[in-house]
Amino acid sequence: MAGWNENQLRKYNIKLEKIPTLQYDDPKLDSHLTNNYPVLIKGSKLVSRVLKWDLDYLKQHMSSVCCNVIVSKNHKFKYYDPKKITPNMTFKPISRPSPMIFSEFADKITNWKKGDSRLYLQQVLNNTIGQHVVRDFVMFNWDWIMSKQKICKWGPLSSNLILIAQEGNVTPCHYDEQQNMFASIRGYKRFILFPPSQFECLYPHPVHHPYDRQSQVDFDNPDFTKFPKFKEACGYEVIVGPEDVLYIPMYWFHHVESLKHGGYTVSINFWFKAGSVEKIEYPLLDYQRMVIMRNVEKMLAEALHDPSEVGNMLKTIFLGRYSSDVD
């Protein structure tokens, strides 16, 4: 029986299909992974030996470790890059980092009451997290995941992020530039994914904006005047529970929510660098188009010495020359 029900899902007006589920030893799995198609993987045992990672256990072993905790005035935790905030910008994020030791985080979410700011711990697993947890880290099913890395010709593992969310927390829609094997340890998370081909429906912020890679569309209250094509967005949905692993292909947009009334969630991701492309083949893949767009934006900002001029120059290139009113 599923450990969740439909009432725990947030309501959005988006067309949704299901992401397929495969057993870890299904012969079809490798073709999903190598073709950049998302898939929910069962039975891999990737994190089976760390299912004991709950708040009590982690508090016992990471109590005084300083952690990256994000605090939000609402349920959304929209990541921003502080290096992209410029002095002439009025940028007021509603969620922001508030580093604290693990025991403080654990106490705050245990004693949380309605009206309080919400918290979300997102900590890179490195050698600051304490010996005990590092020893657990060695017990992941590395043989399995590294065999997938090899088959798919991904680059090296770049990092693992441990994520501890309060029930109802949302990571708004964004994409990452890396391959992601996302493993759930405790609780249920709902993922809504969109392929790179839906770039135009999701309106990511400009590359030089602090919210680079994040959709501008607020799923709770979409502004269809500003973002009309969002009406055409069609997502792929899956619920990820303990011991499940979701493959999130690089450049796929994803929205993530810890189910309402489901208690806190503990999960861990495995980010791999993109593999090197041996031979470019045409037509290009949709994610390769996204890479080109990013590079054009970066190149213009660098040449102009001012990111705020990029939009006007793109308009000058486009309007009346490439726009639809020109033969």
* Backbone phi and psi for residue 324, each to the nearest 5 degrees, phi listed first: -65, -20
Q: Is 39 within 8 Å of 21 (Cβ atoms)? A: yes
Residues 131-170 binding ligand AKG (CB under 6 A) are: 163
> CA–CA separation, 1 vs 91, rounded Å?
45
Closest residue to ligand AKG, judged by C-beta, is 171
Minimum CB distance to ligand AKG, residue 325 (Å): 40
The residues with which 160 forms a beta bridge, in sequence order, are 270
214 near ligand AKG (CB under 6 A): no
Task: Between 235 and 307, name the residue whose CB sits nearer to Fe ion.
Answer: 235
- Least spacing, CB of residue 313 vs Fe ion, in Å: 30
Q: Work out what residue 163 binds among Fe ion, ligand AKG, none; the CB cut-off runs from 5 to 8 Å by kind.
A: ligand AKG
Q: Does 188 bind ligand AKG (CB under 6 A)?
A: no
In whole angstroms, how close is the CB of 170 to ligand AKG at the nearest point?
Answer: 8
Closest approach, Cβ 268 to ligand AKG, in A, equals 9
- Return the residues of window 164-183 that contact ligand AKG according to CB under 6 A: 171, 176, 180, 182
- Smallest gap from Cβ 275 to ligand AKG, in A, equals 18
- Binder of residue 8, out of ligand AKG, Fe ion, none (CB less than 5 to 8 A by kind): none
Is 237 among the residues that bind Fe ion (CB under 5 A)?
no
Instruction: Report in angstroms how near the CB of residue 74 gets to ligand AKG at its nearest.
Output: 15
Which of Fe ion, ligand AKG, none binds 256 (CB below 5-8 Å, type-dependent)?
A: ligand AKG
| 184 binds ligand AKG per the rule CB under 6 A | no
Q: Taking the complex as a whole, how short is the minimal distance between the CB of residue 254 and Fe ion, in angstroms?
A: 6
The residue among 46 and 163 lying less far from ligand AKG, judged by its C-beta, is 163
For position 269 contacting ligand AKG by CB under 6 A, the verdict is: yes
Output 176 or 286, the one with its CB closest to Fe ion.
176
Nearer to ligand AKG, 133 or 163 (CB): 163
SS3 assignment for the chain: CCCCCHHHCCCCCCEEEECCEEECCCCCHHHHHHCCCCEEEECCCCCHHHCCCCHHHHHHHHCCCEECEEEECCCECCCCCHHHCCCCCCCCCCEEECCEEHHHHHHHHHCCCCCCCEEEEEEECCCCCCHHHHHHHCCCCHHHHHHHHHHHCCCCEEEEEEEEECCCCEEEEECCCCEEEEEEEECCEEEEEECHHHHHHHCEECCCCCCECEECCCCCCCCCCCCHHHHHCEEEEEEECCCCEEEECCCCEEEEEECCCCCCEEEEEEEECCCCCCCCCCCCCHHHHHHHHHHHHHHHHHHHCCHHHHHHHHHHHHCCCCCCCCC
Residue 50 engages ligand AKG in binding (rule: CB under 6 A): no
Cα-based distances in Å from 30 to 96, 148, 247:
38, 8, 11
State the nearest-atom distance from the C-beta of 144 to ligand AKG, in Å. Answer: 19
36 interacts with ligand AKG by CB under 6 A: no
Q: In a 10 Å sphere around its CB, with 0-12 CB exposed, 13-18 middle and 19+ buried, how is residue 218 labelled?
A: middle
Greatest alpha-carbon span in the chain: 69
Does position 238 bind ligand AKG by CB under 6 A?
A: no
Task: Build a one-symbol-per-residue string for 156-185: x at contacts with Fe ion by CB under 5 A, - elsewhere.
Answer: --------------------x---------
Query: Which residues lie near Fe ion (CB under 5 A)?
Result: 176
Query: Which residues lie near ligand AKG (CB under 6 A)?
Result: 163, 171, 176, 180, 182, 189, 254, 256, 267, 269
